[in-house]
Structure 1
């Protein structure tokens, strides 16, 4: 029997969109526009780099790889000697670099179609070209096989994901062409671009086109689709954080993904092979996760609250050093400045200003590209939880429990 690409239908909610989903999408679109609205672009750029580290951290955590944020930043900077677990840190750094490429393409208005075969292959290629040697191989059917960057599963490379059996490797090309064609049609208009994100995320994982790395590719594709849907908040919020934490508890993501694998349940459950009802439920959950993360980010990046948290931190660390507070708040609000501007901002002579700059650079509250470079805001890793509460967590993701064996 030939496996047909219709196996992944329905690929979206095309008819009779539930009112509750429509309202949810309108709220997402509205609130996403508020993210970082009062932040200076220079401050936003520094935060965007931090958010990429957070996204990689949570994406790794979903895969069961708990990587310290400090190790990820050390790997990105090439400070290998500081890293506790080098392979995991380099894996996360690879994720950061691919997301940075996506963000740069989006900001330059040249981002490719995120669900296209070419783009998905390119995500995988870039990711695995950056991966440490330890993660470029997988155990498959009792053999150690290489994961070739950008290559779909080859004939004979059949896989099982829990109780789900993805399409045969020999049919991947046909399934992926169908995937691309269907989402071309489903992403017309602002509502279509947003509504299709959860379904595309699930269906790509359902196909499982690559020998390894499908989860990370799907999350990076989702990040790109979010940018295309114009709800990305300048790259300042993370879908992976929401998927890892869930709305109520870790483990929801895998449970919801498993639920959306279910076959159609009778004549009233859509016209595809898979259940339309469970796809709608998955879409509602996924969109709620997106809104939850947008709201978290809006609260965290509110400029007034951020200035207040930063000021309180400096009061604790540098009591009585009013000039340092004034300088940091100025750069946070107005963006990067030249060193020659500092005496006028804080009201001191040049030598005292140099001392202030030196102390703030050393502590990481200011950054500069060189000895005489412009000064920009910094968010030191050691104080991230003070500045951005609940941004990172070191709690392991708990996998969902196995299903109960039915009593027959």
Structure 2
């Protein structure tokens, strides 16, 4: 069995700059930056903030599902309201989902640059932020070992066919990554650097448990200056879970002859992983761009009001409320008086509409006199953002 105890054993850490495949990676990176910039300019800031909350919940669901420990999105929505299941396993998964959401929010608030997020210190902080929110029983592995937040592992492990570095040498591997990944080679290198760091950090397996979650938190935050939280590569990784694991496994491969770089690991397979990752980023930002297309979003708001009124019989969901809802989604908050005037309804009737919308979460307001802003409640996602989070529209079975 090969024992990895020196950092040269996981070189190359980045694709060589002379490779022709880097042209494809550069083109994909530029498209991701361009579409992300357009996405940040779409809809109102409040609508984008509400969507970020959905993406954060979705990230938690998908990242934990990749590890086989997901719980239904409805259970996550309940956990956000401190409503936990009577079933111990479901409640444990709810607590894990909530911890992931809170950790991601905390890490995003650090305003780390791409380079800062790619340090080993950041991935340790991500691991600590997640696991420090869990009680001992929720961070004990199935074989009885306690996972210490942010602490490197103290024994050797095997992950499927892969043998990560000897535990004593993990700090050496982390130090080597710190010499390379935070030193970004310009904008065109951002995506393939983040992709490479994702693989090599997972390959190193620095923690007792939670390596995948911590690395995906790191990757999300490294992409955050680009995505602003409006799209997430985690969605793509989870929806292609088997391929995700297969691509990670392929990038573990040893060098395949004299034309496959000069490191111990395969440069060809590292490049293939980077292209796969960049294509997922492009797919996700493209999908979210269609979700925030203003004309289509306005029509979906109209459809949502219609469904709540006709299918569910909720009388407050009136045609007259469609225009002010659309206006708030596109242009931003309005006063209650302006909302009432836009409906054209009698004031008492319009105030009942507002109260119902706030109770249902389609409108948000910090107080009974504050302006009204848009919200995207859990039950609205199937109509307002179809296929964004399709699991949320299914019936819970746990």
> How many residues are matched?
381
In structure 1, list runs of 5 or more residues that go unmatched. Answer: 396-408
Deviation at 1:363, TM superposition (A): 2.9
Q: What residue is the counterpart of 1:170 in the other structure?
A: 168
**C-alpha separation between the residues in 1 aligned to 2:380 and 2:339?**
24
In structure 2, do the counterparts of structure 1 residues 340 and 2 end up closer, same or farther at CA, with 3 Å as the change threshold?
A: closer
Instruction: Write out aligned runs for 1:265-284 (5 A).
Output: 265-284=256-275
| TM-score, normalised relative to structure 1 | 0.88
**C-alpha separation between the residues in 1 aligned to 2:378 and 2:60?**
15
Aligned residue for 2:364, secondary structure, equals strand
Residue 289 (structure 2) aligned to one of 283, 286, 298: 298
**Does structure 2 conserve the Cα–Cα contact (< 8 Å) formed by 1:263 and 1:273?**
yes
| TM-score, normalised relative to structure 2 | 0.90
Q: What residue is the counterpart of 1:184 in the other structure?
A: 182
Aligned residue for 1:105, secondary structure, equals coil
In structure 2, do the counterparts of structure 1 residues 85 and 372 end up closer, same or farther at CA, with 3 Å as the change threshold?
A: farther
Q: What residue is the counterpart of 1:308 in the other structure?
A: 299
Q: What residue is the counterpart of 2:234 in the other structure?
A: 240
Q: What residue is the counterpart of 1:119 in the other structure?
A: 122
Matched, 1:258 2:249: yes
Aligned residue for 1:85, secondary structure, equals helix
Deviation at 1:337, TM superposition (A): 2.4
Aligned residue for 2:110, secondary structure, equals helix
**Does structure 2 conserve the Cα–Cα contact (< 8 Å) formed by 1:3 and 1:167?**
yes
**C-alpha separation between the residues in 1 aligned to 2:190 and 2:168?**
30
**C-alpha separation between the residues in 2 aligned to 1:205 and 1:237?**
22
Residue 101 (structure 1) aligned to one of 98, 102, 106: 106
In structure 2, list runs of 5 or more residues that go unmatched. Answer: 311-316, 393-398
Matched, 1:67 2:61: no
In structure 2, do the counterparts of structure 1 residues 204 and 316 end up closer, same or farther at CA, with 3 Å as the change threshold?
A: same
Aligned residue for 1:145, secondary structure, equals coil
**C-alpha separation between the residues in 2 aligned to 1:296 and 1:15?**
30
Deviation at 1:327, TM superposition (A): 2.3
Q: What residue is the counterpart of 1:89 in the other structure?
A: 94
1:160-204: CA deviations, max 9, x gaps? 11100100111111111111111133x131122222011100000
**Over aligned residues, Cα RMSD in angstroms?**
2.2
Q: What residue is the counterpart of 1:8 in the other structure?
A: 10
Matched, 1:42 2:32: no
Aligned residue for 1:44, secondary structure, equals helix
**Does structure 2 conserve the Cα–Cα contact (< 8 Å) formed by 1:66 and 1:394?**
no
1:253-305: CA deviations, max 9, x gaps? 00000000001111111011100011011111111111111111111121211
Aligned residue for 1:33, secondary structure, equals helix
In structure 2, do the counterparts of structure 1 residues 201 and 42 end up closer, same or farther at CA, with 3 Å as the change threshold?
A: same
**Does structure 1 conserve the Cα–Cα contact (< 8 Å) formed by 2:255 and 2:265?**
yes
**Does structure 1 conserve the Cα–Cα contact (< 8 Å) formed by 2:12 and 2:262?**
yes
Deviation at 1:36, TM superposition (A): 4.5
Deviation at 1:111, TM superposition (A): 7.9
Q: What residue is the counterpart of 1:391 in the other structure?
A: 388
